Amino acid sequence: MPSFNTVNAIDYILIALYFVIVIWVGFYSARKNKGTDDFFKASGQVPWFMAGVSSWVAGFSAFMFVAAAGYTYKHGSGALVIFTSAFWAYLAGYFYFAPMWRRARIGAPLEFLTKRYSPSTTYFYTVTAIVPQVIGIAQGIYILCIFVSAALGFDRQVFGFAGLQLTGLQLTMLVVGAVMILYSVVGGLWAAVLSDAIQGVIILVMSVIIFPLSMAYVGQGGGFTAGLRRMYHELPHDYLVPSGQPVEFWFLSAYLLSVMLGYNVAWHFAQRYNSVPSERDAKRMAMLGAWLSLLGPLMWVLPVMGAKLIFPDMAAIWPHLKAPEEASFVSLAMLLLPHGMIGFVVAAILSATLGQANDAFNWLSAAVTKDVYVPLRKRVGLPPASDLHQMRTAQVTMLVIGVSGVALAFVISRLGGAFDFGLKYYSMVGPGFTMPVALGLIYRKTPWWSGIASCTAGFALCFLLFGLDAWPEQAYARNVLSAALGSTVVFVISAFYWRPEDPKSALAIQLDRDLRTPVEESNLPSGHGALGVYAVIGNLSIIIGLVLLACWLVPSTAIAPASINVVGGSILVAVGLILRWVARPTRPVPAGKSAG
């Protein structure tokens, strides 16, 4: 049994510091929220680099370090094919979807459905999406807390809390959920973007450190390259060469389609593309996401493949977990990292999932407020809701959704492996919702009812085949491809009923004009306004870095020396100083002189 470094007092301090930072970010962001335009899309003034990092972080969560780590542990290099596929999706965003979303000129994500189809379509999507989104939030909390409770070392303990007996996993879900709800409700999209930026910095630094450490440990004293050579000689051929489910035709086809939809027409991506000043900025953030999605997984997948040699029997180490392989990454961290950095890694995993949940909160509360609550008030004869009233309504909606997600996480924790649950769940609810959005964005000449009809057809075919248990050996591919097929066929048929003279087609015709009209460039001066948030992220990076540098004095082991804390802290301080330099105010150009 390996000797793990579970969290101690020093690590708790770092984790607590991160919680304080996240909550502070929420209240700092609240000062920027003067109305719903700020709360839902940051008034379209988020710097493109920050928006790109935010969208990248939003594309994964603790899922990558827990569920995806378990999948990699079982399947080997085939996981690289799966988990770098977002690169191709972001490229599609760069060439088409990013500029289209920016040209859509929407204030809330589901406003697109009103413009493209009808208000009825927006109501339909909002009402039917609430339960799936709450389940998604619950799953994210559960996956996150598998990691956190294990790293904290009390995953097998039982605690008394408010008269209840809670396991360590359940107590972790409760505390993490409370923090997540607090900063999301207070801060809106600015909180999501700022916290995502902090998360991106933490995750990249953590990955840069744990990648060479794990390879060197596998090399048994021979260094980084020795670790790679040992993996090549000792791991099975089928593990090193992509094989099995990850490259099986039907599974891979369905997965690539899901990724293409998820990274281009999911509502939080639409929201990110509308949060930047210009169309060119939207394309830049898509390209940044593409490269981060290609390089990032390399630093996570290869260490987990090495964990196959370090921990050949994960079930013996984590016998109480339903899917022990999902603890492979946390096992590496607890083996190879010193105290201080352990807390840093826990904070990184917390970062990713909190940001993903905030995205779900934000777009769903925007939809409920702007596309359901406001029109319903008008329909029943109530006076129009003020901008401040709408923002408060969105915050209450976030609170209800968050509490429901935490409660449901307790149920999901009893259902088995996180990757299998997530794969099956999203295969049934994802494509049915997203296919009509993608089709409607690409082709705009279908009648107002085609969105609802296409969505309904996708779900109907998917659930029919599920009920018949057709092709059970290809359940994931069956769910994804049948939903896509059903949606597409009905969408194509509906095009024959397009009538441009129908008054209900007016909004779709106007949207078509908007999508053909580029967004004008922003005239905001460089180095001012929203760019100043880089200084905020820089300051926070420096604070965390200095705390980590102080952990050089913490007792350590030969396997996990304190010098690792110094490396991590130095990188963070350097990143912070660079960000502060980027955010420096620029001097105005004197009249009559060229800006060069």
Q: Is 576 helix (H, G, I), strand (E, B) or coil?
A: helix
The pLDDT assigned to 595 comes to 39
Tell me the C-alpha distance between 159 and 153, whole Å.
13
CA angle 360, 274, 260 (to 5 degrees): 65
Closest CA to 44 of 149, 229, 228, 190: 190
Neighbouring-strand partners of residue 194 = none
Model confidence pLDDT, tens digit, residues 452-492 = 999 999 999 999 999 998 998 898 999 999 999 999 999 99
Q: Where are the beta strands (DSSP E) in 240-301?
A: none
The pLDDT assigned to 135 comes to 78
Closest CA to 48 of 18, 93, 84: 93
- In the numeric block, the tokens 């290099």 are attached to 77
Model confidence pLDDT, tens digit, residues 292-316 = 888 888 888 899 999 999 999 888 8
Which helix (H) or strand (E) is 165 found in, with range? strand 164-167
Tell me the C-alpha distance between 492 and 27, whole Å.
47
Domain regions of the chain by residue span: 9-519+537-574
Is the distance from CB of 532 to CB of 581 less than 8 angstroms? no
Tell me the C-alpha distance between 259 and 199, whole Å.
22
Is the distance from CB of 189 to CB of 394 less than 8 angstroms? no
Is the distance from CB of 8 to CB of 339 less than 8 angstroms? yes
Is the distance from CB of 359 to CB of 405 less than 8 angstroms? no
Closest CA to 72 of 299, 353, 341: 299
Which helix (H) or strand (E) is 387 found in, with range? helix 387-412
The pLDDT assigned to 488 comes to 97
Tell me the C-alpha distance between 171 and 160, whole Å.
9
Phi, psi of 167 (to 5 degrees): -75, 165
Q: What count of other Cβ atoms lies within 10 Å of the Cβ of residue 386? A: 11
Length of the chain as a residue count? 596
Is the distance from CB of 579 to CB of 221 less than 8 angstroms? no
Q: What count of other Cβ atoms lies within 10 Å of the Cβ of residue 155? A: 21
Q: The pTM is what?
A: 0.78
Closest CA to 445 of 365, 383, 385, 501: 501
Neighbouring-strand partners of residue 166 = 159
Q: Which residues contact 107 (CB under 8 A, 6 or more apart)?
A: 36, 37, 40, 41, 370
What CA–CA distances, in Å, run from 407 to 142, 159, 172, 245, 292? 10, 17, 12, 33, 33
pLDDT tens string, the chain, 596 residues long: the values are 567 777 788 888 888 887 787 777 766 666 655 555 555 444 556 778 877 777 777 666 556 777 778 889 989 999 889 989 999 999 999 999 999 999 998 877 778 999 999 989 988 888 787 778 777 778 777 777 776 776 666 666 777 766 777 777 778 778 877 877 776 666 555 666 676 677 777 777 888 888 999 999 999 888 899 999 999 999 999 999 998 889 999 999 999 999 999 899 987 788 788 878 888 888 999 999 999 888 888 888 899 999 999 999 888 887 766 778 878 888 888 889 888 888 877 776 676 666 666 666 666 777 777 777 887 888 888 888 887 788 788 778 878 877 887 788 777 666 554 556 666 777 888 899 999 999 999 999 999 999 999 999 999 999 999 999 899 889 899 999 999 999 999 999 999 999 999 999 999 999 999 999 988 765 544 444 455 677 888 888 898 899 889 988 888 888 889 899 999 999 999 989 988 887 776 555 454 444 33
Under CATH, which number does the domain 9-519+537-574 receive?
1.20.1730.10
Q: Is 500 helix (H, G, I), strand (E, B) or coil?
A: coil
Is the distance from CB of 343 to CB of 15 less than 8 angstroms? yes
CA angle 589, 590, 596 (to 5 degrees): 45
The pLDDT assigned to 137 comes to 76
Tell me the C-alpha distance between 175 and 259, whole Å.
31
Q: What count of other Cβ atoms lies within 10 Å of the Cβ of residue 13? A: 15
What CA–CA distances, in Å, run from 357 to 43, 351, 362, 441? 21, 10, 9, 25
What CA–CA distances, in Å, run from 123 to 5, 429, 443? 50, 17, 22
Which helix (H) or strand (E) is 158 found in, with range? strand 158-161
Tell me the C-alpha distance between 342 and 412, whole Å.
27
